[in-house]
Structure 1
Amino acid sequence: MEIRSYILGAPFVFGTCYVILYRGILYPSRGKGKKMEILGARLKILRNEAGKTQQGMADFLGCQVRHYQLIEAGGSNLPIPKLMKVADYFGVSVDYLLGRTENREINR
């Protein structure tokens, strides 16, 4: 299955489940799907590699620790600006965080 999202009324393929972009936030439209699980798993790996706590990441993102825990568990997602902030902090691409590539490097 592929992800379809609508930005400015035009559909585009995003991955393996359906997603809707609304006010800068990606929302799964058919269950949480594997994309949010991939995001959470990669955030946890990167956080552990950097020696950060969940509380530290929640403070960095300006959210409650419980919300960050939900993100890592695949039960919630990040607004695009915060997703970009996390990618910049860890020096990885947003595509890597979302599971679209295995390459951590940023292509500029």
Structure 2
Amino acid sequence: MSKELKTKDQLRKEVGKRLKELRLQKGKTQADIAGILGLDRASVSNHEIGRALPKKEELLVLAKFYGTTTDYILGHTDNKETPDPYENEREFLTAIDLSTDEEIKNRFIFEIDGQEVTEEEFKRMVAAVRSERLYRKNP
């Protein structure tokens, strides 16, 4: 993927190429996609050959249907994967088992309702997670 600015024509062609690739990977026809979007098949064809770009709402529906992001469809990234919204939480929960409380506190920023967590709140939070894990191991 080139980081240089694309012309509108280049953008339409890249989006079309990606949409066609995603559709074929799903084993769907243009008519299938037209039905999902509430369009006619010719509109889907125009998207895929680079004559027209899908509307924002259509891009959102397509990204969700294909399990990717609008950034991938638009060529902003080559990563097809949808980011894990809980990645930071998983990292934190793993760190609780592997680190001292001080290492955890220094590694992450803890805020609740826009306010930084106090030292006492942090200790109670870590203790609660550890207690729950211990309980699940030994019910």
Q: Give the TM-score normalised by the residue count of structure 2.
A: 0.55
**Are residues 1:99 and 2:75 paired?**
yes
Q: State the one-letter code of the partner of 1:92.
A: T
Mapped to 1, the partners of 2:10 and 2:37 lie a distance apart of: 23
Is the partner of 2:21 in helix, strand or coil?
helix
**Residue pairs, 1:35-46, within 5 angstroms:** 35-46=11-22
Bigger helix share: 2
Mapped to 2, the partners of 1:79 and 1:97 lie a distance apart of: 12
**Unaligned segments of structure 2, at least 5 residues:** 86-139
Instruction: Say which structure, 1 or 2, has more relative contact order (CA 8 Å, 6+ apart).
Output: 1
**Are residues 1:55 and 2:31 paired?**
yes
Mapped to 1, the partners of 2:60 and 2:13 lie a distance apart of: 18
Ranges of 4+ aligned residues in structure 1 off by more than 6 Å: none
Is the partner of 2:65 in helix, strand or coil?
helix
Is the partner of 2:81 in helix, strand or coil?
coil
Q: CA deviation at 1:106?
A: 2.0
1:15-46 deviations in Å (ceiling 9; x for gaps): x23xxxxxxxxxxxxxx421111111111111
**Are residues 1:34 and 2:10 paired?**
yes
Q: Give the TM-score normalised by the residue count of structure 1.
A: 0.70
CA RMSD of aligned residues (A): 1.2
Q: State the one-letter code of the partner of 1:62.
A: G
Bigger strand share: 1
1:40-94 deviations in Å (ceiling 9; x for gaps): 1111111111110011111111111111100000001111111011000111011
The sequence identity of aligned pairs, in percent, is 32
The structure with more radius of gyration:
2
**Are residues 1:80 and 2:65 paired?**
no
Count residues with an aligned counterpart. 81
**Unaligned segments of structure 1, at least 5 residues:** 3-15, 18-31
Mapped to 2, the partners of 1:53 and 1:79 lie a distance apart of: 20
